[in-house]
Amino acid sequence: MDLTTALAALAERTLTARDLAEACIAARADRPEGRDNPYVAFNAGLLRAQADAAAARRRNGEPLSDFDGIPVSLKDNYGTGTVCGGTWPVFAGSPRRLPAAWNRPGGVVSGLLARGAVVTGKTRMVEFAFGGLGANGHWGTPRNPIDTINHRVPGGSSTGAPLSLVEGSALLALGTDTAGSARIPASWNGLYGYKSSRGHLATDGIVPLSPRLDTVGLLALTAADLGAGYRLLTGAPVAPLADIGAIRIGRAPAVLWQDCSPGVVAAVDAALDRLGRLFQPVDTVTVPGLEEALALFRRGGLAGAEIFGLLSRDLPAWLSSLDIYVGPRIRAAADVLDYAERVAFLDRFAAGAREMFHDVDVVALPTVAITPPLVADLGDPLAYGRANLLALRNCCVANLGDMAAVTLPVGTDAAGMPVGLQLLGPRGADARLLAIAQAAAGHLAVEG
């Protein structure tokens, strides 16, 4: 069941919040292999307690909102505080629980709890969110469920978020996105994903990776569910487009279409051909400073220096236990000497991106250039580094340029794995971008 269907069923009283909770618990119990568990913490008793409280409010005619009783999974870097007398730990992908101060709920979690959403549990992630593949040397790397034969990475750093949706233990998944951490796992699991533009949704109450680049991310089963999730987080609906035919869709520069796995470009191009009958196609756009921004990202951007600084200052004991996938890269960022210059460049890059949207409404490109790698191919740190950078390349542009972004599933590549179409929009135009994504998804479904 998707989120939109569940909202209607709750409103019509054809099911209860407890029914939804039991379905989530049954989905968890049906998983054949524990190592592929989406969660670091899942408490059936606490899930039932929340659902029963929501059901009681509905029986009394006092629901907190139409989302009262909707099950939502949270990434392991979100603090929750105490809910129905219980709580969930915060590990942020590390091997031990972070101090209690990191478990305070911020604006996003406080808002969804105030509207009655039910937390199913805390989902797995790359350690301190510093990676796009989903590999974790402490907790293990769950398999991408789309490939039932080979152990492929599920995407990260919001690793467990898509798995909670695919298995049916949540109807909406909250992640974070610093360079693609919500969009990559959404794309690689055939889901819809949304990265908020900088400052659009509060990031307090979330263990930070990069205060400049961190954004809230959503993963959902449908484009309509993304819109509903946005309303849950903001209280504002996503209004349908009144001017669908006037939407100008531009093609991202060639560098973001290069070095793609076989079948990726073909799937995205086919989707854009179909969308050309709905929107107004525009030629390839120019993104001022794009090559320099990508080069900066390859040198570590801001995130490496910022997470090293946070750990050194607030969690020094965690530095020595960082896993093999993130430890060397974080420690290598300790000597960044041009941090201020990097920030100044990104200010200029973001300003250029805003100017670009005078000529187009959205920019289209593959969400992820490559197919999800096999875990067996990532044992060599150099191989991991190459795959990680290429997986993040197309997504990091939105974070570096302060843009909003969505990903829509549009087919499969030559390996049979899902391919995503990414749409970029200007900072602050998040609701309009989600409306464009809904229109695009509906048209692709009809055209397909």
Domain 244-447, second-level architecture: Alpha-Beta Complex (3.90)
Tell me what pLDDT residue 334 has. 83
Listed in order, strand segments (DSSP E) in 359-448 are 362-366, 404-412, 418-425
**358-412 pLDDT, tens per residue?**
999 999 999 999 999 999 999 999 999 999 999 999 999 999 999 999 999 999 9
Tell me what pLDDT residue 161 has. 98
Neighbour-count burial of 374, counting CB atoms closer than 10 A to its CB (0-12 exposed, 13-18 middle, 19+ buried): middle
**253-270 pLDDT, tens per residue?**
999 999 999 999 999 999
Q: Using CA atoms, how far apart are residues 172 and 118, in angstroms rounded to an integer?
A: 10
Residue 187 is a catalytic residue: no
Under 8 Å CB-to-CB from 269, ≥6 apart: which residues? none
**368-380 pLDDT, tens per residue?**
999 999 999 999 9
Residue 110 is a catalytic residue: no
Q: Which of 75, 164, 195, 261 is catalytic?
A: 75
Tell me what pLDDT residue 31 has. 73
Residue 181 is a catalytic residue: yes
Return residue ranges of the chain for CATH 3.90.1300.10. Answer: 3-234, 244-447
Instruction: Say which amino acid occupies 436.
Output: I
Per CATH, the homologous superfamily of domain 3-234 is Amidase signature (AS) domain (3.90.1300.10)
In this prediction, residue 447 has a pLDDT band, given cuts at 50, 70 and 90, of: confident
Q: Identify the bridge partners of residue 172 per DSSP, sorted by sequence position.
A: 72
Tell me what pLDDT residue 33 has. 67
Percent of the chain with pLDDT over 90: 95
Q: Is 222's pLDDT higher than 90?
A: yes
**289-312 pLDDT, tens per residue?**
999 999 999 999 999 999 999 999
Percent of the chain with pLDDT over 70: 99
Tell me what pLDDT residue 428 has. 97
Strands 192-195 and 404-412: antiparallel
Q: Which of 73, 94, 122, 157 is catalytic?
A: 157
Check: pTM over 0.85? Answer yes or no: yes
State whether residue 61 is helix, strand or coil: coil
Tell me what pLDDT residue 336 has. 86
Q: Extract the tokens encoding 397.
A: 């542009």
Q: Which of 94, 158, 181, 197 is catalytic?
A: 181
Tell me what pLDDT residue 352 has. 95
Under 8 Å CB-to-CB from 286, ≥6 apart: which residues? 253, 356
